[in-house]
Structure 1
């Protein structure tokens, strides 16, 4: 669990055994986790390798407060919902770039194409957090950090093969020489898959190749250039709704996606590093196409989304007890399909004050203003407190506001409703941002010199002006309201270095509060209860063995709560053994008991599946 304290250009370091882990997702700058008043879960590279995870969504599904649904096999549309919020209300960041898809009708990020081979670290913040991050951070934030440069030359690679002729291979190299540092990863995933349609007979395959890269140039201590890039090219076989029944069945349809995310920034640290400045330009470019060979070779759907952001952030430690974080951002986004093109822009300013009046107490407050071309101004507030006592008790409380701007499709698409800043549009008829208010309180207690930790968090969130399709007007309108409240329990044990046990339980009551026939009913695909437990043990002779068991409770597949999805239990076993200093063999069995289940009505899920692979590291 202990790693070197080597900070990166993300502002992230993992501390040694005598100090605290550092996170950036709560305020946008690096903070010890015991100074954070919000609920944050950290997944490290060691966790990824121990769990032998390929899809990031599979890891997130075992995280407190998070539920995942996937429309079929690997690579199909995958929704990640935090604390019962919509998947489009989960803000996703990769290496400092907001990657929510502007070509998606609601602006959700599709986790179906995100794999763990290139990832060093994931931070999951639960609850609204729009002050540092802006739009879409209503349910929470998933912050992805890919492989970072290392002090010395290091390399790693792994390859595995398994069920449905599946292949996953990854390689990474990183290092530093003089003022230059860099890292490069490459990955390839392919599988024959399963049938997307649960009643289908043909397998629907998947293929992706991708790469990430980082380059750093430290011209003088504290002044440098940071470049980051992410590329993925994917192809997913699909099923459709063919005539004459127009129900989900085997077809030859498929989709392609090309994702390109980039970051170019300069950091300048002044006043003995008390004043840190960062200027950056980021880009997210997503091309999506759907094909149906039954109707020819041209795409049946074309989506082109692009977001460009210009950012400044200042982080000034006035004195040891007072820290001021402030920033300015401008974002341009555009969306195009086969016949139309839309664009908009937003300019934002935010400020945060982090005060530590006494050593054990950290109080944070912030405000943000967004001036959007379509809907005008929106001001957002947030505040939190963390009290870390010497007894190992940490008390946390936070109040957070979140908002989600209407997407380009919701504003200007064929069923769109323009915003109030659009000339000639009365305010009462305009589309406004979705808004949320959340408060949570939690307590965490560590025992046995940090070898045991238990925590509990209560949260309550109300979302208003939620955008939904209005069947009365056949347009998008602010007609929905939702409420979610619940409790999250976490337990972590490491009584000896060789044994690790973690478990969590979440109870989330997310309900529709919109006037009408669905008032008071459960939101679709939001189970009330989820449980996950994982245990791993390393034997003295190099063998590691582990297991994960997860339970997802009953839910409904529709807003009217007519179509019930039964709960299910998934169990998996894994093992690995080092056969040399740098060489390891591993294998796992997923869905050990071949559970039959659905997460989306009519769509297929994996049965029992086995995989085996090799891993090599050099440093």
Structure 2
């Protein structure tokens, strides 16, 4: 099944009684890297976790800006906030990286590829982000070749009711406000988050090419979650969310396909819902869930004016323990459909999975996962993953994993105006090996070698989408570390080298060979704090006729925070501190130096 944990299971983790926390330390928990929650030092998969505090400290307004501080992740955007903004993970583009919010697959089934644009997703209301890397089709099915991004919105963490308010104003006449209401009782956890963001923006087509028209954005997002403990063993869950955006865009209209000022505007709405039930049995814990998502996009001046996609999912999972083996098993059924103006299409996928987590002694954990997907258009596909971690000492861990995956052609690739119903799924294999070490002073380092190959790539040919025989490869190394300079200052950094090539050895578009992240978090006094983050990107190629090299760039962002009281803080965020002129996508502009002031309070 695509979603691997009910909301109730996550809440059970964060709601451990204080007495239990006093007696033992579970360490950092990964919720989505396996079928059941697990301490990060007991999983062989590579997973990056961003906590709510880290999201807040970054001061960034877009989730994608938080993600680009993680190793192996880069972004290509078509302008400012709201414009199409897609990530690449270890050299693989967004169509290989599904995104889940509160357990719901939010990738767009109506797009040319089934993928997610981060352009309008704001950090307001975000509680936690987990990025799982490598082929994960054994866990998540189709598309999960590069990895998976799992996002969880805010949840209450202590009894009572908490009210959070936020407001921000800054460059480009940008205004935003946010609200969160979090309530916990003996029998229920309730959370409501709301955010509104409006900006005049800057030209999506790069102003350095003579474009002067501002391209604005307005967006509203709201989420309601509820977990009700009906009995000591039965928990009911509910998730409702809605996102409504309006984005000015600069496209590439014929006949010259030059990106330039235009009055283009896109209107988009995304609604999701999830109902779940979790039962704590004597021998087997059961969970059930129904998911629904719908997205509509209207682009009045485009070749296609209206896109509409729907996804319906039903899931079951059972979890038990047999001696030293944690066993999870389950099944799922998914229906997807799309409409692009008058063109329509649909398919369904039924899946069954089993995962075994073995304790091979006190210092070694092995996880084996197998999944079988039955696609209504392509028949069956079996995905497997093996992941192992060995603790050489209390502070050193060796990890390795290997798996295969697939990406079924999207509905648009099959049935759209340029589609080909004879396309077959892409298939992948991936492997990684890594080592991590934690030092007594709080420092830590991690190194990972990774490799992925994809066969029968689907790409756009002369007039239609077509299958390209051969093997595309991405491989490289990730190096990350953090070190406390003293008890108030923490330095962090990461470097990723990626070599991504198609079957002919040509560099894949928008994938940098070198990605460097450096930064400092400082808590100077009990009131004053700062964060400085540098991102250097080098060695890219981008779209053109033919493809052309893109200029390297270095961008520095800074955030200064001040705690007015224990419940209220103010911050100053400076984006592009040194006013770098750069592009993440050829022809599209990025922000000049911009300054934003915000206030956050909780009661």
TM-score, normalization: structure 1?
0.91
Structure 2 equivalent of residue 332 of structure 1: 335
Matched, 1:504 2:494: yes
Matched, 1:192 2:200: yes
In structure 2, what is the Cα distance between the partners aligned to 1:446 and 1:464? Answer: 38
Structure 2 equivalent of residue 586 of structure 1: 571
Q: Classify 1:475/1:575 alpha carbon distance in 2 versus 1 (closer, same or farther; 3 Å).
A: closer
Is 2:420–2:464's contact at 8 Å kept on the other side of the alignment? Answer: no
Higher relative contact order (CA 8 A, sep 6+): 2
In structure 2, what is the Cα distance between the partners aligned to 1:95 and 1:494? Answer: 33
Deviation readout 1:405-445 (Å, 9 max, x if unpaired): 11111112233222xxxxxxxxxxx3211111011000001
Find the partner of 1:595 among 580, 583, 586.
580
What is the CA distance between 1:388 and its match in structure 2? 2.1
Q: SS of the residue aligned with 1:46? A: helix
Structure 2 equivalent of residue 443 of structure 1: 435
Aligned pairs (5 A) from 1:218-617: 218-241=229-252, 245-271=256-282, 275-292=284-301, 301-319=305-323, 321-418=324-421, 430-448=422-440, 451-471=442-462, 474-479=464-469, 481-494=471-484, 496-513=486-503, 519-558=504-543, 562-617=547-602
Q: SS of the residue aligned with 1:526? A: coil
What is the CA distance between 1:222 and its match in structure 2? 2.5
Structure 1 equivalent of residue 52 of structure 2: 45
Q: Classify 1:185/1:480 alpha carbon distance in 2 versus 1 (closer, same or farther; 3 Å).
A: farther
Is 2:35–2:355's contact at 8 Å kept on the other side of the alignment? Answer: no
Q: SS of the residue aligned with 1:26? A: coil
In structure 2, what is the Cα distance between the partners aligned to 1:545 and 1:178? Answer: 38
What is the CA distance between 1:173 and its match in structure 2? 1.1
Find the partner of 1:133 among 132, 136, 140.
140
In structure 2, what is the Cα distance between the partners aligned to 1:245 and 1:340? Answer: 27
What is the CA distance between 1:556 and its match in structure 2? 0.6
Q: SS of the residue aligned with 2:172? A: helix
- Number of aligned residue pairs: 586
In structure 1, what is the Cα distance between the partners aligned to 2:374 and 2:529? Answer: 53
What is the CA distance between 1:391 and its match in structure 2? 3.7
Q: SS of the residue aligned with 1:348? A: strand
Task: Extract unaligned runs of 5+ from structure 1.
Answer: 1-6, 419-429, 514-518
Q: SS of the residue aligned with 1:333? A: strand
Matched, 1:161 2:169: yes
Q: SS of the residue aligned with 2:230? A: strand
What is the CA distance between 1:357 and its match in structure 2? 2.1
Q: SS of the residue aligned with 2:497? A: strand
In structure 2, what is the Cα distance between the partners aligned to 1:136 and 1:559? Answer: 26
Q: SS of the residue aligned with 2:36? A: coil
Q: Classify 1:540/1:73 alpha carbon distance in 2 versus 1 (closer, same or farther; 3 Å).
A: closer
In structure 2, what is the Cα distance between the partners aligned to 1:374 and 1:559? Answer: 34
Q: Classify 1:456/1:244 alpha carbon distance in 2 versus 1 (closer, same or farther; 3 Å).
A: closer
Deviation readout 1:115-159 (Å, 9 max, x if unpaired): 110110000111111111111111110000011133322221211
Structure 1 equivalent of residue 4 of structure 2: none
- Structure 1 runs of 4+ aligned residues shifted over 6 Å read 14-17
